[in-house]
Amino acid sequence: MSHLRADSALHAARAGAGGAFCLALGAAALLYESPIVLAGVIAAILVAGALAGVGPALRRAALLAVPLAVIVALVNPLVSREGLTVVARLGEIPVLGRLDLTAEAFAYGAALGLRVVAVGLAAALFTAAIDPDEVLRLFRRVSFRSALSASLATRMVPVLGRDAARMAEAQRTLAPDARASRPALVGAVAANALDRAVDVAAALELRGYGAARRPPRPAPRPWSRHDVGIAAAAVAILALAIAGRASGLGAFDAYPALSIARDAATLLLAAAFPLLAALPLLERRGVAR
Amino acid sequence: MSVLSVEGLTHRHPGAARPALSDVSLTVEEGEMVVLAGLSGSGKSTLLGAACGLVPHFHGGELAGRVTVGGLDTREHGPGDIAAVAGTLLQDAETQVVMGTVRAELALPLENRGEAPGAVARGVEEAALALGIAELLDRPTGELSGGELQRVALGAALAGRPRIILLDEPTSQLDPVAGDELVWLLRRLNEEWGVAVVLAEHRLERCLAAADRVVALLDGRVACDAPPREMLAWAMNAAPALATPGAHLFAAAGLRPPPAGVKEARASLRARGLVPERAAEAAGKASSGRRRATGSPLLRRLRRRPAGPAPALRLSGVWHERPGGRTVLRAIDLELAPGEVVALMGRNGAGKSTLLRHAAGLMSPTRGRVEAAGRVALLLQHPGDYLIGDRVGDLTTPPALAAAGLERLAERHPRDLSGGERQRLALALVTAGGGEPGERRRDGPPAVLGLDEPTRGMDRAWRGELAALVRARAADGAGVLLATHDAELAAEVAGRVVLLGAGEIVADGPAAEVLAGGWYFTTETARILDGAGGALLPAQGAELLRAPRAAEAAR
């Protein structure tokens, strides 16, 4: 995962606003267990990603998040002892003891899995759409070195990916019996990553990083329409999520028996997230750099 | 006043048996442009590392002597402090550019110094304007070409207005056009900004004309410290591998003193009345000197299909179109005969590496066909990518190691090998047998050997060794396809040169014809003689220069 350049309101907005937007979506996912609301949050992230031009990056993130979610959904019934509707009796299992799989445990696992997907996608949206240099600038007065390390870590991913692809290609030119084993190749890629890290560290030293001084406060920047729009959407998403939670919308209880609120207010709440996420991104004036 | 002063510097890398630098002393004055010359392993990079403070603060090792940069003693000041007075540019731009956009990259050193936002913005603009990269300021660094990246890294080194710039083979990854541009950019900065430049470089013919002085290192010691012409005169006797082709040309023709560059060489020849007839005017015959690939692809294919032995490799109408991207190869028709050596030349991005990958079956054409008479062995640009293991002896068989002359290194770790040794070992691995795709795999020696930039970052000694290896492979009947920016190597080993431009073959003909009339894709000898007589190498040029004098003597 790395930052992708695109002409969108999310890219054009300042990193503080864009970061808050992604954080608000992630926070909304953490506030709810209801699959209906979580589906709304996931839809919001996907809509925002598509409008920001980073849909393929979200798709790649989903390829990692969805299997993880499936694992969570499958593991929960194995470790949960709650739920009334037994769907399978597996008897005595060493270490785990008596194991009865319940429909409620499966449902709760699925809800947890949806939350994993939502949080993963929100993080992917942040990585793909928010300029790491801007984020670095945002935090440099607080902890410049930590911010730079985090920024470099994301930037080195594609470089290391290219290195690994190059090594794999070189191996393809060799006779099958002369090719390195997979563990040896993984080891070489890891060693190469360390080499790259040393090179980057040397480059940073040469740019005066070792003697870095606390930077002066940056001059205030005027707020653009995208700064305002994205920040407003972030506030609205977070406020809606908190208000909905406080007023009991999107209720979900898996145990002892499954209960999901499906009232109109919950459905409206779920539908409001994609709408709020999409609105500022529909503004296309001044998005190009 | 000296901006760099090195006094009795000796340095031994951690765990090394012998010092990389021994009792080195030199000074660089304000506004000087100094070239550091030397074969691989002679200590150039270590000396630059000592000047910028990476040695010993970052790389460690034992250090004796004293280095002062802009008044800062490197024993007391680390690279972070020294960065305020010395900008440094290393070989690989990809790992030196650490920020996401060009603007952020140029701003980083200024921000590290705690400069006010206004000063940062001004420094960024000035560095960008000086280097001609203002239009790149908001581009992501991940999208830049090698030449652009190198300029951006240079911009970051210059943004703080250092008193001296230290550069370690900055042109090694660049094509001849970008390499020449970078050297002349350095000279311009040197003259306009007054910044001192210390440039370590293997291809001296590229930079001597711009240099005030050359410091030659041999085995970690300063062997010569003199103006370019005097250094070349010394090199012709003491270290011929360090002399430029121009110096070899003059020496072989019995002319003195050696020229520091093409302009000086031509002036010297003119003054002696030795300017040979220009190739282009030596009969309109040169109009076909660059045999441009003309006609329809079908006609070209028919024209190039003479009756005779089956080609070692045939590419017929090969296209490579990236999904959602640009067309990298366009209707490439190319035949390589057994035992023939063909040099593929062209600027970065012209499609040379892609063509080699198609030849080796690593890529499939989107249109067209690739046929090979047998196995295609391909050595890609980074030999280290092949050397995966902890011991050289584990990578291949003892006979293959012995054939590559590396049996004494069997116990070494591949990462501890020199650049030339890595190339030789990787070459031994790829030619040992096998290769993708499976249906093309055969046992026995390869029918085709592909080499992708095998002299990149290598010194002239390796070039000579490589030329011998290529000739040996060709003598064994393998067709050799050599993608290179190194016109001297192409002239030395290739019978035919194919020039690629934007994925198309723009010229295809005998090396003497294609290379002699060019400017960038040609040898220094041909530049000096302006392509006269199709002479590409110093010995051929010297023969041409001696001929009128011999005729005059006979009269």
- ipTM value, please give it: 0.78
Residue of A nearest to B383 (CA): A170
Residue A140 in contact with partner chain B when CB distance is under 8 A: yes
CA distances in angstroms from A212 to B76, B114, B292, B345, B479, listed in the order given: 17, 7, 56, 44, 55
Listed residue (B57, B92, B87) closest to B69, CA to CA: B87
Residues in chain A: 289
The DSSP bridge partners found for residue B7 are B66
Give A289: exposed, middle or buried? Use CB within 10 Å, 0-12, 13-18, 19+.
middle
pLDDT surpassing 90 at residue A121: yes
**How close, in Å, is residue B347 to chain A by CA atoms?**
21
Cβ contacts of B434 on chain A, cutoff 8 Å:
174-178
Listed residue (B304, B325, B328, B299) closest to B315, CA to CA: B304
Alpha-carbon span B438 to B440, nearest angstrom: 5
- Note whether B109 contacts A207, CB cutoff 8 Å: yes
Of A166, A175, A216, which is closest to B117 when you measure between CB atoms?
A216
Residue B428 in contact with partner chain A when CB distance is under 8 A: no
**How close, in Å, is residue B222 to chain A by CA atoms?**
25
Cβ contacts of A215 on chain B, cutoff 8 Å:
111, 114
Q: Around Cβ A214, how many Cβ atoms within 10 Å?
A: 9
Joined tokens for residue B143: 């999208």
Cβ contacts of A287 on chain B, cutoff 8 Å:
none
Cβ contacts of B88 on chain A, cutoff 8 Å:
206
Low-confidence ranges of chain B (pLDDT < 50): 282-290, 434-442
- Give tens-digit pLDDT for A9-19: 999 999 999 99
Alpha-carbon span B524 to B234, nearest angstrom: 20
- Note whether B380 contacts A155, CB cutoff 8 Å: no
At B191, which helix (H) or strand (E)? helix B176-192
- Note whether B142 contacts A2, CB cutoff 8 Å: yes
Q: List CB contacts of A195: < 8 A, sequence separation 6 or more.
A: none
Residue A166 in contact with partner chain B when CB distance is under 8 A: yes
SS3 per residue for B399-431: HHHHHCCCHHHCCCCHHHCCHHHHHHHHHHHHH
pLDDT-derived band at A71 (thresholds 50, 70, 90) equals very high
- Note whether B112 contacts A211, CB cutoff 8 Å: yes
- Give tens-digit pLDDT for A138-159: 777 777 667 667 667 766 777 7
Contact A117, A42 (CB under 8 A): yes
- Note whether A170 contacts B380, CB cutoff 8 Å: yes
Q: List CB contacts of A132: < 8 A, sequence separation 6 or more.
A: A3, A150, A151, A154, A155, B100
- Note whether B112 contacts A207, CB cutoff 8 Å: yes
Q: List CB contacts of B302: < 8 A, sequence separation 6 or more.
A: none
Q: List CB contacts of B261: < 8 A, sequence separation 6 or more.
A: B205, B208, B209, B210, B228, B246
B3, A205, B109, A216 alpha-carbon torsion, rounded to 10°: -120
Average pLDDT over residues A222-231: 95
pLDDT-derived band at A212 (thresholds 50, 70, 90) equals low
Q: List CB contacts of B415: < 8 A, sequence separation 6 or more.
A: A191, B384, B387
- Per-residue model confidence (pLDDT) at position B285: 46
Residue A263 in contact with partner chain B when CB distance is under 8 A: no
Give DSSP secondary structure letters for B110-133.
Answer: HHHTT--HHHHHHHHHHHHHHHT-
* Residue B59 phi, psi (nearest 5): -90, -15
Alpha-carbon span B92 to B422, nearest angstrom: 18
In the stretch 191-230 of chain A, residues with CB closer than 8 A to chain B read: 191, 196, 199-216, 218-219
Instruction: Using the structure block, give the residue that is written with the tokens 């952020």.
Output: B104
Residue of A nearest to B414 (CA): A188
Of B88, B98, B433, which is closest to A152 when you measure between CB atoms?
B98
pLDDT-derived band at A206 (thresholds 50, 70, 90) equals confident
- Note whether B54 contacts A205, CB cutoff 8 Å: yes
Listed residue (A6, A31, A80, A29) closest to A242, CA to CA: A31
Listed residue (A259, A263, A248, A261) closest to A83, CA to CA: A259
Average pLDDT over residues A47-68: 95
Residue of B nearest to A144 (CA): B112
Angle at A243 between CA A238 and CA A244, to 5 degrees: 100
Q: Around Cβ B141, how many Cβ atoms within 10 Å?
A: 23
**How close, in Å, is residue B282 to chain A by CA atoms?**
46
Residue of A nearest to B430 (CA): A174
* Residue of B74, B89, B137, B385 to mutate for A, most A C-beta atoms under 10 A: B385
- Helix, strand or coil, per DSSP, at residue B482: strand
* Residue B498 phi, psi (nearest 5): -115, 120
Compare A236 and B143 and report the one with higher pLDDT.
A236
- Per-residue model confidence (pLDDT) at position A2: 75
Give DSSP secondary structure letters for chain A.
Answer: -------SHHHHS-HHHHHHHHHHHHHHHHH---HHHHHHHHHHHHHHHHHHT-HHHHHHHHHHHHHHHHHHHHHHHHH----S-EEEEEEEETTTEEEEEEHHHHHHHHHHHHHHHHHHHHHHHHHHHS-HHHHHHHHHHHHHHHHHHHHHHHHHHHHHHHHHHHHHHHHHTS-GGGSPPHHHHHHHHHHHHHHHHHHHHHHHHHTTGGG--PPPPPPP-PPPHHHHHHHHHHHHHHHHHHHHHHTTTT-EE-SSS-EE---HHHHHHHHHHHHHHHGGGG--TT---
- Per-residue model confidence (pLDDT) at position B334: 95
Of A159, A167, A209, which is closest to B112 when you measure between CB atoms?
A209
- Note whether B362 contacts A205, CB cutoff 8 Å: no
Residues in chain B: 555
Residue B60 in contact with partner chain A when CB distance is under 8 A: no
Listed residue (B247, B370, B237) closest to B312, CA to CA: B370
Joined tokens for residue A107: 């449902």
Alpha-carbon span B239 to B35, nearest angstrom: 16
- Note whether A174 contacts B386, CB cutoff 8 Å: yes
- Bond into B309 cis (ω within 30): no
Give DSSP secondary structure letters for A233-256.
Answer: HHHHHHHHHHHHHHTTTT-EE-SS
- Note whether A208 contacts B430, CB cutoff 8 Å: no
The DSSP bridge partners found for residue B2 are B29
* Residue of A134, A135, A136, A174 to mutate for B, most B C-beta atoms under 10 A: A174
- Note whether B79 contacts A199, CB cutoff 8 Å: no
- Per-residue model confidence (pLDDT) at position B47: 96
- Note whether A176 contacts B434, CB cutoff 8 Å: yes
Contact B502, B492 (CB under 8 A): no
**How close, in Å, is residue B285 to chain A by CA atoms?**
43
Give B325: exposed, middle or buried? Use CB within 10 Å, 0-12, 13-18, 19+.
exposed
In the stretch 76-95 of chain B, residues with CB closer than 8 A to chain A read: 78-81, 83-84, 87-88, 90, 92, 94-95
- Note whether A203 contacts B378, CB cutoff 8 Å: no
Residue of B nearest to A134 (CA): B104
Average pLDDT over residues A270-279: 97
Of B54, B78, B378, which is closest to A173 when you measure between CB atoms?
B378
- Helix, strand or coil, per DSSP, at residue B450: strand
- Per-residue model confidence (pLDDT) at position B438: 41
